[in-house]
Amino acid sequence: MSFLNLCFRTSPLSKLATRTAQNLKSVRTYARSHILKVTVCGGAGRVAKLVCLLLKQSPLIDELCVYDVADTVRFAKELAHVDTGCKVSAYTGKEYVKKALQNSKIVVILASSPKTAFLSYSAMFDPNALIMQELIEQFSYFCPKALLAIATNPVNSMVPLASEVLKAHGVYNPNTVFGITTTDVVRANSFAAEVQGLEPECVFVPVIGGHSDNTIIPVLSHAKPCNDFTNAELEKITLGVQSAHRDMIKAKFKESANLSCAFAISRFTLSLVKALRRKSDIIECAYVKSNVHPGTKYLATPLRLGPAGIQKNLGLPELSEYERCLLENAVPLIADDVIKGERYAKGLD
């Protein structure tokens, strides 16, 4: 180090400059850690891009971060043209995952293998499990306190897999890990409204169970504002919601649903945002760690959300005979899916 350099480094002026720079850095760090940042992993994907467009319109989100192993920059540049206050950031490649996740308050996972768009729910496990495991490891290093919303299929197994990875890293909080099942609620609301001749916006049908064919259970006996259905209508709506994934793949010639799914995923994410912003009475159904049924450790039920995630699990509504029968058939299927995810995370498969 030169003499001049030494003088400058030790002069009172330089000390003041150093202190000012340090203060500025801590102010910036404080500001960054207090913004409401939502990160979408798998952000360059078909559904995720639509989710991002919907989230960009929310005045409650300060920063929307798009992260993917595929290019995010061009999409994010265009997204940033939408004239809303929410700032857009974008990172491409695993070497930037830290930057993408740091300071996130909510992380939505839609990352998935490219070959899964026309597969059944269970067939998506093998291609997606490693992607999920790696992302959750990064999550546990860089933003373990964020709310984690998992859309990647099969949700029934991915949530237990993620939970085990978080446990192994000592950062698991069951109140902050969600499997997104809002797609089923949105479908149940629309199908019930159509049968009843009501405006879909006014209809709410809770959906319990899991997110795969026979584990999706619309609780039409608790449909609001009206739960009056014939047996034939009950069966038509229930089977319609359960088979919607397959039906869309057939209708779209080997591509799964995008639009309604993105709408549903953004609705759930915005409910998490509202809960973090301390809005009251935020109720959503989601697939979470649960002790409401002795046959399974995870179950979708209605939840009251708050700033710390699940404020209260509202449990199972009183079920009709038909719904009870569907649930009892679904529980062993869900329990198997749970074991599959847990075993993978523990390296047993």
Ligand X SMILES: NC(=O)C1=CN([C@@H]2O[C@H](COP(=O)(O)OP(=O)(O)OC[C@H]3O[C@@H](n4cnc5c(N)ncnc54)[C@H](O)[C@@H]3O)[C@@H](O)[C@H]2O)C=CC1
Ligand Y SMILES: O=C([O-])CC(=O)C(=O)O
Q: How far apart are CA 174 and CA 193, in angstroms?
A: 34
- With contacts defined by CB under 6 A, name the span among 30-38, 63-71, 220-228, 243-251 that binds ligand Y: 243-251
Task: Using CB under 6 A, pick the residue from 107, 257, 288, 299 that binds ligand Y.
Answer: 257
Q: Does 270 bind ligand X (CB under 6 A)?
A: no
Task: Using CB under 6 A, pick the residue from 261, 272, 334, 345 that binds ligand Y.
Answer: 261
Task: Using CB under 6 A, pick the residue from 104, 128, 182, 183 that binds ligand Y.
Answer: 183
Q: Dihedral, CA atoms, 242, 152, 91, 255, nearest 10 degrees?
A: -50
Q: How far apart are CA 123 and CA 67, in angstroms?
A: 25
Residue closer to ligand X, measured from CB, 210 or 309: 210
Q: Is the separation of the CB atoms in 105 and 139 below 8 Å? A: no
Q: Is 23 annotated as a binding residue?
A: no
Site residues for ligand X, 295-334, by CB under 6 A, read none
Q: Does 112 bind ligand X (CB under 6 A)?
A: yes
Query: In this structure, is the dihedral angle defined by the CA atoms of residues 177, 183, 185 and 186, taken in order, positive or negative?
Result: positive
Q: Is the separation of the CB atoms in 153 and 245 below 8 Å? A: no
# residues contacting ligand Y (CB under 6 A):
8
Active site residue 34: no
Q: Does 211 bind ligand X (CB under 6 A)?
A: yes
Decide which of ligand X, ligand Y, none touches 48; Cβ closer than 5 to 8 Å per partner kind: ligand X
Q: How far apart are CA 349 and CA 345, in angstroms?
A: 9
Q: What are the residues whose beta carbons fall under 8 Å from the beta carbon of 38, sequence distance 6 or more? A: 55, 61, 63, 64, 65, 104, 105, 106, 107, 108, 269, 273
| DSSP structural state of residue 147 | E
Catalytic residue among 34, 81, 169, 211: 211
Task: Using CB under 6 A, pick the residue from 58, 128, 163, 256 that binds ligand Y.
Answer: 256
Q: Using CB under 6 A as the criterion, what x/- string covers residues 44-63 for binding ligand X?
A: xxxxx---------------
Query: In this structure, is the dihedral angle defined by the CA atoms of residues 55, 56, 60 and 61, taken in order, positive or negative?
Result: positive
Q: How far apart are CA 68 and CA 226, in angstroms?
A: 43
Decide which of ligand X, ligand Y, none touches 245; Cβ closer than 5 to 8 Å per partner kind: ligand Y
Binding positions for NAD(+): 68, 128
Please identify every residue annotated as catalytic.
211
Q: In the complex, which residues of this chain contact ligand Y (CB under 6 A)?
A: 153, 183, 244-245, 248, 256-257, 261
Q: In the complex, which residues of this chain contact ligand X (CB under 6 A)?
A: 41-42, 44-48, 68-70, 110-112, 114, 116-117, 124, 128, 131, 134-135, 151-153, 155, 180, 183, 211, 256, 261
